Structure 1
């Protein structure tokens, strides 16, 4: 990041592109076709995609309503749903309406020969000037210079990024070398399709400006010169040339997802305790995001203090809690209390409401709510009369229509049941923002956090739209870690598998190409990490102390496992949307990278994976991530899994999702369940025993001193227990076919309900002298069934009759699918 203070301008430029050493390390140019999102030739798919993603058309496809030409020259007309500009002198067609904060998308097709165009934004029109339109422009550069996506200040300051002598003001020349180097990088240099359609996307929030060309970010800087203005498109003035524009869309910002997706629920207190003559403590039983409504006395003391807190200390709200555990206070005045309730807002935390800075914008909650924060306890000081329980109500924010009865889990281990209750409620309580956020500290979606939240949301509620909304948010507001980008592929795949909505997937498929890490892959298929990646971007686990001594090298085992899994899922999704050539190319890449992964990173002597090249260190992360993604060869699985079982929980609550997934899927369910309810401080049992009601960001404050106490990525058992212990997952998109594979793990019995878009699956199994499973499937669903092979078992009965089943390892696999209500018994 480069931060500069300049006269009249503040610029902070963040270049996000391929690392500069990739060519030297062997970047493979043959993957170029899978890197760049393709713009469809007729534009119809693009139009539907933009509507699907919540954009509003700036152009109706029929006439130029809402547009004007402020010049006496130039011609604009509508041809087959496109705007065609012709002229013999430069001019701009501009909107009649001004816009402030927004994300705008425009597709441009340049004419042959000399051509230059662009998208004006927050621009101005002065009819008295020769150059009537001036201001910001996202450059569309058809010349060999290849500065498409650069920021030009039309008829004013000229080139801002990149800058160049003679065409930039002196204050911008300090970053001339850096900005020109950025535009020499292959991803940016080649972003424009010179002879076809190109999608330009510009995001403006406050003083922050971001430009993307065909999914490649070219500019991210701050400039406070203009905060509002028109949108415009340009003809450069070449006589006889036609510039074409289509699919002009805008999404005005900020979005407030909670306005549509969340509701406030009135909750009475669980208890009210008088602490002293002047202090009353109100307990709402669990932490929730919200504020309170109170019946304020008509008379008495002028002011009373209302404190909100997540933590108690010696029977009072802890006013100086550790980390980012929340505490705050507001004042109330005597008023009309007995006749009506007043909303008492929580204090505002500027960090989790800011829209610009070194990170993506925070997710705002509706102004009508007034500020909210997470709290369980309310402390009232200076109340002039006796405080009554009916005088206060918490207004708690939860996803609209949350169905408490949609899901359930109960097993023979009471600790596991308590863990389920904690994790299920954690998912419910953290839906307050309308998209999945990382807790209260920043209120920002992060890709890995969101994916874990998504998996658990599917398993706990029966109307999950928030996952798709979060995906769209993150595609426009991505974060920095290397492995977080492939999580976007995982999110899209999981949403498609859950809903089966291929149209939704098709509208987003092309944009996912930028999230696979293929831009960093070498000729052997493996992703390469330069010094910046090794020191900052490659994350492995978070916080840093949870990495089990991981050694970062230029070929990182964890990064490559995520990359291979991402392109594997891309191949599946490519076929689903009819992109067979892409699917074949992804398949070939998976085969190439997987072979290189095993040859380069597997240590034959130890039977384990190294952290990377040029190190003999074997972290648990370098082994459980490949195990979870099915990368370990079949004859090596037992050795890797056995070694992992000996290591314990040497990872964070985030990475535990993948550790436990790998153990459950590979015959180590007993160890997985043991880790969930361990007696130490690195387990969910520890969270339960602490008294928390929402899962934490880390196992304990000593592992992450600034952690949130309201973080859904710590709620992995909300999906692990239904998916593995009960054993239901989608096998075909839309749950047309389920995979039912219960994992016993030493439990005597387990039962529960798993929500799906086509109805609930109910499972009830007992593991005593034999294994018996009662299964109820929705009408539209069948299931592939895999049952644990009890000692000495010889087959499987279906409703008392023997059925064809094959023994594989420790499981019986039924030859035929089942449907409806059935009872299965392993004999």
Structure 2
């Protein structure tokens, strides 16, 4: 039987052309035609032929009508028609203030003698027969403004004015920057226009742009011809414009698609405005007008300074004293004003050279010096660290990264350091009174988590990684270390996983997610990490309202816009040379060969779609969920058929190459994309490989091994001798995890990078085996991966309270488990070959053996001790 509903869904999701419709209907047509021919009835044949063509027309018309009016399935871009929550609460939660109170036009004015503005059902409606603008009474400088626009039918053009000006005496009273809302077939919505002044800036065009802007005419027009930007506007629905101005850098986003990132210094401040283009009888509608003034400094509310005493003080000479604070932390120092005359120097460092601070450390390892003047005042005074301009940069090159996360100015400058060297102050000075002011999350709780096992190297690694998460909370959101102080999506996701397993009050993850949704970065795989972050936060908190507020925006992060009719993502030349990461740094890619269809990028795409389907269903968007599921099925089929090398039994790097990197295999394995009958072959191949990846990708490599029974291999790699393991990090003496395994693999690496702290989440999630089984941790899975360890014990924080686990692994496997009240657990315990079942107090429990696991049939609660024997 022909599945017309399935055909409709495929068409709605994949946006296929008429020829695809005919292909879907043709099988039924041919069957009917065969039967009609067998009956030798020209009349029946004619009817069947008409039926076929009528179906083509009806299906295409139905899809076109749905797309034109109010699509129920819109998984490619945000669907603002389906907002079923209070957007004001969501915007305020993200730090925005309303520009419009929803009731009257307080704070707005019309400088023109014509035009009508009124409030209707919480919207601003503009009517007129001449062009006019409604503008704010307040001026703004650096900000992010969000406005939703609904164009009328027929010829229509509108936009959002920003940093604009008003000349009461001019005929064209409002002039300045405008984010274009273009209802014509030109499709320049999201473009940057200079109203009543310089004309089109980006894109530019002859006759309507100044010569200097015509230099990029071809480039800018080509950008707006790309389907992603050209198709960003929902012509007959609501559209969200978000404009960010930081100094001279202007960014315009339309429905989550960045259309413009341009530098122009003409205006530093001005009003916000909305436009009626002057079409008589037309009503332009505006709603949800919000603004966030920049910069935002999360640490002001969420981070505090802790004064720390020196661990040791060493007199190097009569004029040089070295102070050790034991571990690296972000901060500065407070000290009593030294007596005397002249100058002295306070030096800060992450690295020693001999018994002195290394003043020329490699890479981005930190050193800085601050001069002080002796005898200037009494009492204690703050000695700030030097300022690295990159760490406070708010507007870099148009092709560079988003703004750095600032620390509160009242702190004065901070940097990561362990040692302080004071030169020029006598040995009689009370150095023991010097304190480091270290910045940590206000809610950090050292007692929230613990881990110990029979391998002391693993214990040292856990200590390093847990402290790394604590030390990198200094900015109030997750940042990439100290080189740029910028959140990156992949860095943040790994940081998030480890923060959940080490601390018991983790609001920083959700805060970082919102920051990144407004300040995204450029790598291909980093975008799907935003879906991962949202899914992880939802699984942690169980907060459906939080998810509902952010769900539509996530659609722009799945890479759907780059996928073809087979469901697989394509990478153009720029993607292959710059955007597709696979691993970072470049030398850690195991010689990965980049092609148009990339195995790693597509693995991220598919799992992001899977998670979107789960989240859509959780918040009641079942049509979306079904559409995502259909897309996943399509992409998975193509992924396996196109990218798996049946002869070798492993995945290729992509279409057009026979090379297979470990990345092309452990990412699909970690994501559960490898068919059951292919898993053993991929595992056998990976088991022979070393750590041919960075600490970032090692998170997923280790997950792939732990999830598939190769615990021993994972432990071997984590504790391997040589310079490509976490053992190398702890043996080096570092107190915060590194960005790379060693400087020779990334010469400019940070020594304070949280993505290098993956064992902080790997050990609780896999060695202790504690993971959420449902959103909000009402149920948990306990699945220990012991390898050759003889015991492990620890405490894993959850929103419901800590889960405590202690297991021993010898002739039998015993586990003592304490679940918080209200949480139930699903047990999946290791099963040695000779074991017969699971026992509690000597009595057998109903359990089913599946491969190398005993699955306890019933959920457990409270405190219990079990034995597998």
Q: Secondary structure at the match of 2:75?
A: helix
Question: In structure 2, what is the equivalent of residue 311 of structure 1?
Answer: 351
Aligned residue number for residue 117 of structure 1 = 158
Question: Counterparts in 2 of 1:188-587, with a 5 A limit?
Answer: 188-297=229-338, 299-335=339-375, 339-357=378-396, 358-384=400-426, 386-587=428-629
Is the 1:698–1:714 Cα contact (8 Å) retained in structure 2? yes
Give the superposition deviation at 1:800: 3.4
RMSD of Structure 2 on Structure 1 (CA): 1.7
Give 1:635 deviation, angstroms: 1.8
Structure having the larger proportion of residues in helix? 2
Counterpart-to-counterpart distance in 2, 1:520 and 1:198? 21
* Contact 1:208-1:222 at 8 Å conserved across structures: yes
- Partner of 1:168: helix, strand, or coil? coil
Q: Secondary structure at the residue paired with 2:253?
A: strand
Aligned counterparts of 1:791 and 1:296: Cα–Cα separation in 2: 70
Q: 1:167 is paired with a residue of what secondary structure?
A: coil
Aligned to 2:741: 699
Q: Deviations over 1:80-136 (max 9, x none)?
A: 111111122211111111111111000111122222111000001111211111100
Give the Cα separation in 1 of the matches to 2:157 and 2:568: 38
Unaligned runs of 5+ in 2: 1-15, 21-59, 68-72
Work out which of the residue numbers 102, 112, 123 in structure 1 matches 2:143: 102
TM-score (norm 2): 0.90
Q: Which residue of 2 aligns with 1:47?
A: 88
Q: CA deviation at 1:717?
A: 0.2
Deviates more, 1:530-539 or 1:455-464: 530-539
Rate the CA distance shift 1:799–1:735 in 2: closer, same or farther, 3 A. Answer: farther
Q: Is the 8 A contact 2:321 2:427 kept in 1?
A: no
2:142 and 2:293 in contact (8 A); partners too: yes
Deviation at residue 614 of structure 1 after TM alignment: 1.7
**How big is the shift at 1:231?**
0.4
Q: Deviations over 1:553-611 (max 9, x none)?
A: 11111111111111010100111111111100111111111111111111111111111
Query: For the residues of structure 2 that align with 1:41 and 1:630, how far apart are their CA atoms?
Result: 32
Partner in structure 1 of residue 784 of structure 2: 742
Deviation at 1:362, TM superposition (A): 0.6
When structure 1 is superposed on structure 2, of 253-262 and 172-181 the one drifting more is 172-181
For each residue in 1:766-823, what CA deviation from the matched residue of structure 2 results, as whole angstroms up to 9, or x when unmatched? 0122100000011121111100002410000134321110111111001111111111
Is the aligned partner of 1:152 residue 2:190? no
Cα distance between partner residues in 2 of 1:536 and 1:679: 33
Tell me the distance in 2 between the aligned counterparts of 1:452 and 1:585.
Answer: 29
| Bigger mean CA deviation after superposition, 268-277 or 350-359 | 350-359
Within-5 A mapping of 1:665-676: 665-676=707-718
CA distance in 2, matches of 1:335, 1:142: 69
The answer (yes or no) to whether the contact 1:52–1:507 under 8 Å persists in 2 is no
Residues 340 and 375 of structure 2 are in contact (CA less than 8 Å); yes or no, is this contact kept in structure 1? no
Aligned partners of 1:799 and 1:822 also within 8 Å: no
Q: Could you tell me how far 1:352 is from its partner in structure 2?
A: 1.4
State the alpha-carbon separation in 1 of the partners of residues 432 and 668 from structure 2.
55
Paired residue for 1:37?
A: 78
SS at match of 2:825: strand
**What CA distance in whole angstroms lies between the structure 2 residues aligned with 1:240 and 1:612?**
55
1:271-300 CA-partner distances (Å, limit 9, x unpaired)? 111000110000000000000001012x31
Q: Is the 8 A contact 1:301 1:384 kept in 2?
A: no
- CA–CA separation in structure 1 for the residues paired with 2:272 and 2:225: 28
2:74 is paired with a residue of what secondary structure? helix
Q: Which has the higher contact order (CA 8 A, sep 6+)?
A: 1
Three-state SS of the structure 2 residue aligned to 1:647 is: coil
1:43 Cα deviation after fit: 7.4
**Displacement of 1:336 after TM fit?**
6.2
Deviation of 1:385 (Å)? 5.3
Measured against aligned partners, the alpha-carbon deviations of 1:488-507 in whole angstroms (never above 9, x if no partner) come to: 00000000000001100111
Match of 2:804 in 1: 762
Mark the runs of 5 or more structure 1 residues left unpaired by the alignment.
Answer: 1-21
Cα drift, residue 52 of structure 1:
3.2
Verify the 8 A CA contact 2:335 2:433 in the aligned structure 1.
yes
The answer to whether residue 105 in structure 2 is matched with residue 64 in structure 1 is yes
Q: For the structure 1 residues 513 and 42, does the alpha-carbon distance in structure 2 shift closer, same or farther, using more than 3 Å as the test?
A: closer
The number of residue pairs the alignment matches comes to 801
Q: Which residue of 1 aligns with 2:827?
A: 785
Give the structure 2 partner of residue 652 of structure 1: 694
